[in-house]
């Protein structure tokens, strides 16, 4: 489903974030990309979603060569994913409901069907009662769950999450972990970039470990 | 197909929601656009009216024959007989100086002014309808009547009307120049509005792209915004012109009684009005399009 083959990524400035990275993730798997800060975890996710382009090697997602996609095809590639960003990227001038609505608008859903799905997604992450709340009024854990609701609302086959438990205390982190487990159990491929060892111990995923841009396991 | 339609409906609804969410900015923008468009549109209507008036004068030429102020009853009777006997004259209407003064007194607000006059400043006059309306014949007739004893002045409205028409050609050119300038202003205002929108919606645009929004999805509401704002500006301009003409016509009703002709300014025709709306919507769209091309590229989205 996702396959990196001898991938290099050199950022402007000459820094090599990934060096000769090769791995494959099958449909329905749960995989953690681990490593210290600066190891290249986020870069792997960004390359997968064509947010960055590889400097060398090939990245295949669902049979498409991501590095060679024309710009017009990129949006359609991204709709395969549910993206959870390290910094949430929630819109602070919209309430919870409207934030989760965005991917469905992007995908051109009819309004009533979209509203139904938004509520289902908010219910799934336990925020149905807060659909009118603005992100600024939510706790860190709630913001993270809102970001997750937005990522899953269009029912993507692949979930890409960047440090989803980054700055949450243990209780919240465990909740988030259980959410990912439940998505994976219904067949969603889950890829999480994290250095949270407790989360790994809990979910027992397959691990791709990076160290300074090189795979070490 | 349904999805495509929905995406357009959604974009339009989003646009309208944005317009309503910032009512003050919207009103100010639409007001500026309305005024900018009302100026050339108003001039255009004014010209069309003057032109129509000039045409009716030219088609129905009359000579006004004014007698000298010191003309007596004998002069009046003599001139009238000569006019009626003239082969080039179809009909003659006598307007005595006293009647002219009473008319002014009763039909304008100038009663006090008129009363304060020591003597009537108006001369006796005849309105002459010629048999032949060709310019040369008219001008010959005018020159002939001018030479008659007791006649102080002969005025040929048709000649004046033709001169006016020549002047109007120039004025029309000026209107188009003005329209071009204000069209430019409309594009500039829209360009700037959309620039601000892109800057304030930067995050939203960025997130939308990251989760799979196509370029058209992002551009569509902005383009609609420009078009809808332009359209609203056009509507405002139409309303400004219509209301102004309505007021002017109220004032003109008094004036036209005085001259015994029907003076009424015509409103912008439905066709011209719809052209104005189309024109402003297209310009708004164009301003937005320029802005979107310029500023979306600068956001450096991936
Ligand atoms: N846009 C960028 N421009 C230049 N260098 C970058 C950029 N993004 C990341 N890097 C560098 O690439 C390396 C890997 O970054 P990243 O993939 O974010 O690591 P991680 O997510 O594991 O902390 C780091 O040294 C980081 O400084
Ligand atoms: Mg990172």
**B302, part of any domain:** no
Give the number of residues written for chain A: 217
A78 part of contact set with chain B, CB < 8 Å: yes
- Is the residue at B123 inside a domain? yes
pLDDT score, position B58: 67
> CB of B271 within 8 A of CB of B65?
no
Residue after which a domain boundary falls, among B138, B157, B176: B157
Strand arrangement of the beta sheet that strand B63-67 belongs to: B89-95, B125-130, B63-67, B151-156
Q: What is the pLDDT, as a whole number, of residue B252?
A: 77
Distance CA B96, CA A69 (A): 92
Domain count for chain B: 2
Does B204 contact chain A (CB < 8 Å)?
Answer: yes
Say how far apart CA A136 and CA A90 lie, in whole Å.
10
**Could you give the C-alpha distances from B86 to B22, B71, B139, B154, in angstroms and in order?**
74, 21, 15, 16
Separation CA B30–CA B189 (nearest Å): 10
- Domain-terminating residue out of B131, B157, B183: B157
Both tokens assigned to B213: 């929004």
- pLDDT tens across B113-123, in order? 777 777 787 88
d(CA B186, CA B281): 10
Q: Are residues B187 and B275 in the same domain?
A: yes
Distance A37 CA to ligand 1 centre (A): 9
Residue A19, both tokens: 């060096």
For position A169, what pLDDT does the model report? 81
Tell me what pLDDT residue A109 has.
86
Q: How far is the CA of B199 from the centre of ligand 2 (A)?
A: 27
A6-62 per-position pLDDT tens digit: 999 999 987 899 999 999 999 999 999 999 999 999 999 999 999 999 999 999 999
A89 with B207: Cβ contact below 8 A: yes
Any idea where the domains of chain A sit in the sequence? 1-80+156-217, 90-155
Structure ipTM: 0.90
Final residue of a domain: which of B132, B157, B182? B157
Residue B23's φ and ψ, nearest 5 degrees, are: -60, -40
Structural domain that includes position B242: 2-57+162-296
Distance of alpha carbon A57 from alpha carbon B178, whole angstroms? 60
Distances in Å between the alpha carbon of A159 and those of A215, B185, B186, B204, B289?
A: 21, 48, 46, 21, 35
* H or E, element range at B93: strand B89-95
- Count other Cβ atoms within 10 Å, centred on residue A14: 6
Nearest to B213 by CA among A150, A61, A79, A115: A79
DSSP strands (E only) in chain A: 2-10, 16-25, 30-34, 56-61, 64-65, 81-84, 158-162, 189-193, 206-211, 214-215
B74 and B205 part of one domain: no
B145 & B258 share domain: no
Q: Which two tokens stand for residue A187?
A: 């067949």
Which atom number of ligand 1 is nearest to the Cα of residue A40?
Answer: 17
Q: Mean pLDDT in each 10-residue stretch from start to end of chain A (217 residues)?
A: 93 89 94 92 94 93 91 92 93 93 89 93 93 93 93 95 86 88 94 90 91 87
Ligand nearest to the CA of A85: 2
CA dist list (Å): A114 to A97, A105, A119, B10, B282: 11, 8, 9, 12, 32
The pLDDT value given to residue B83: 85
Test mutation, B10, B199, B211, B218, chain A, max A CBs within 10 A: B211
**Superfamily classification of domain A1-80+156-217:** P-loop containing nucleotide triphosphate hydrolases (3.40.50.300)
Place of tokens 């310029």: B294
Q: Are A147 and A88 in contact (CB under 8 A)?
A: yes
Q: Tokens 């060096």: give the residue.
A: A19
Residue in A18, A60, A29, A46 with CA at minimum distance from that of residue A216: A18
Q: Do both B74 and B113 map to the same domain?
A: yes
Two tokens, residue B248: 């002017």
* Distance, CA of A92 to CA of A99 (rounded, Å): 9
Q: Are residues B147 and B292 in the same domain?
A: no
What gap in Å lies between CA B39 and CA B183, rounded to an integer? 11
> Which residues make Cβ contacts (< 8 Å) with residue B222, sequence separation at least 6?
B194, B197, B198, B288, B291, B292
Identify whether residues B214 and B232 lie together within a single domain: yes
Of B168, B124, B125, B159, which is closest to residue B140 (Cα–Cα)?
B159
| CA separation for the pair A156, A188 (Å, rounded) | 8
Residue B301 in any domain: the answer is no
Predicted pLDDT of residue A189: 95
Alpha-helical regions (H) of A64-196: 74-78, 96-106, 111-124, 140-152, 170-185
Q: Are residues B171 and B280 in the same domain?
A: yes
User: Are residue B244 and residue B291 in the same domain, yes or no?
Assistant: yes
For residue B214, list chain A residues with Cβ-Cβ distance below 8 A.
Answer: 72, 75
Gap between the Cα atoms of B199 and B46, Å rounded: 41
Tell me, using a 6 A CB cutoff, whether residue A40 lines ligand 1.
yes
A15 lines ligand 1 (CB under 6 A): yes
Scanning the structure block, which residue is given the tokens 């601000």? Answer: B196
Q: Give the minimum alpha-carbon distance from B287 to chain A in angstroms, rounded to a whole number.
A: 24
User: Which residues have a beta carbon within 5 Å of ligand 2, which is an ion?
Assistant: A 42
Same domain, residue pair B270 and B189: yes
Please list every residue in chain A whose beta carbon sits closer than 8 Å to the beta carbon of residue B10: 105, 108, 111
Nearest chain A Cα distance for residue B195, angstroms: 19
Residue B223 belongs to some domain of the structure: yes
CB B128 within 8 A of CB B65: yes
Are B128 and B92 a contacting pair, CB within 8 Å?
yes
Is the CB of A76 less than 8 angstroms away from the CB of B3?
Answer: no
Q: Residue A100: its pLDDT value, please? A: 96
Tens of pLDDT along chain B (302 residues) come to: 666 777 777 778 877 887 888 888 888 989 999 998 999 999 888 888 887 777 776 666 788 888 888 878 888 888 888 888 888 888 888 888 888 788 777 766 667 777 777 778 788 888 888 887 777 788 888 888 888 888 888 887 766 666 777 788 888 888 889 889 999 999 999 999 999 989 988 899 999 999 999 988 899 989 999 999 999 999 999 999 999 988 888 877 776 666 656 667 888 888 989 999 999 999 999 999 999 998 887 776 66
Residues B132 and B213 in one domain: no
Task: State whether B166 and B270 are in the same domain.
Answer: yes
Do the domain assignments include residue B40? yes
Q: Which atom of ligand 1 is nearest to the CA of A195?
A: 22
pLDDT for A217? 75
- Considering the domain architecture, whether residues B283 and B172 belong to the same structural domain is answered as yes
CATH number (domain holding residue B134)? 3.30.70.3040
> What pLDDT shows up at residue B266?
82
């Amino acid at each position: 489903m996702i396959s990196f083959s001898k991938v290099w990524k050199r950022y402007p400035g000459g820094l090599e974030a990934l060096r000769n990275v090769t791995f494959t993730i099958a449909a329905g798997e749960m995989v953690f990309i681990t490593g210290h800060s600066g190891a290249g975890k986020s870069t792997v996710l960004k390359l997968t979603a064509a947010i960055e382009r590889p400097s060398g090697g090939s990245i295949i997602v669902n049979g498409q060569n991501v590095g060679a996609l024309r710009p017009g095809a990129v949006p359609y590639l991204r709709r395969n994913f549910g993206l959870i960003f390290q910094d949430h990227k929630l819109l602070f001038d919209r309430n919870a409901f409207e934030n989760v609505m965005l991917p469905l608008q992007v995908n051109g859903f009819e309004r009533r069907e979209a509203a139904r799905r938004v509520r289902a997604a908010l219910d799934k992450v336990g925020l149905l009662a807060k659909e009118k709340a603005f992100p600024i009024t939510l706790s860190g854990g709630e913001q993270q769950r809102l970001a997750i609701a937005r990522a899953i609302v269009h029912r993507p086959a692949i979930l890409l999450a960047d440090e989803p438990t980054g700055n949450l205390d243990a209780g919240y982190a465990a909740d988030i972990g259980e959410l990912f487990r439940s998505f994976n159990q219904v067949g969603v491929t889950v890829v999480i970039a994290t250095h949270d060892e407790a989360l790994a111990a809990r979910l027992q995923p397959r691990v791709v470990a990076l160290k300074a841009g090189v795979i070490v396991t | 197909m349904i999805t495509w339609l929905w995406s357009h409906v959604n974009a339009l609804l989003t646009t309208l929601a944005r317009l309503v969410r910032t009512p003050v900015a919207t009103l100010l923008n639409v007001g500026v656009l309305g005024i900018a468009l009302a100026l050339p549109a108003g001039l255009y209507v004014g010209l069309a009216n003057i032109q129509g008036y000039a045409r009716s004068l030219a088609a129905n030429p009359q000579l006004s024959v004014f007698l000298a102020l010191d003309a007596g009853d004998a002069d009046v009777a003599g001139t009238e007989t000569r006019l009626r006997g003239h082969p080039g004259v179809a009909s003659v209407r006598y307007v005595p100086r006293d009647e002219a003064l009473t008319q002014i007194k009763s039909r304008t607000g100038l009663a006090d002014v008129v009363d304060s006059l020591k003597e009537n400043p108006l001369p006796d006059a005849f309105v002459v309808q010629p048999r032949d309306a060709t310019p040369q014949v008219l001008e010959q007739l005018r020159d002939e009547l001018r030479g008659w004893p007791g006649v102080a002045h002969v005025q040929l409205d048709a000649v004046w009307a033709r001169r006016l028409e020549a002047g109007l050609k120039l004025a029309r050119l000026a209107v188009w120049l003005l329209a071009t300038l204000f069209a430019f202003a409309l594009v500039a205002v829209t360009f700037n509005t959309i620039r601000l929108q892109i800057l304030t919606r930067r995050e939203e645009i960025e997130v939308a792209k990251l989760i799979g929004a196509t370029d058209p999805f992002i551009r569509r509401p902005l383009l609609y915004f420009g078009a809808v704002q332009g359209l609203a500006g056009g509507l405002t301009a139409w309303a400004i012109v219509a209301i102004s003409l309505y007021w002017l016509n109220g004032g003109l009703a008094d004036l036209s009684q005085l001259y015994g002709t029907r003076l009424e300014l015509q409103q912008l025709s439905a066709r011209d009005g719809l052209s104005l709306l189309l024109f402003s919507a297209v310009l708004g769209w164009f301003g937005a399009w320029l802005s979107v091309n310029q500023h979306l590229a600068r956001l450096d989205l991936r």
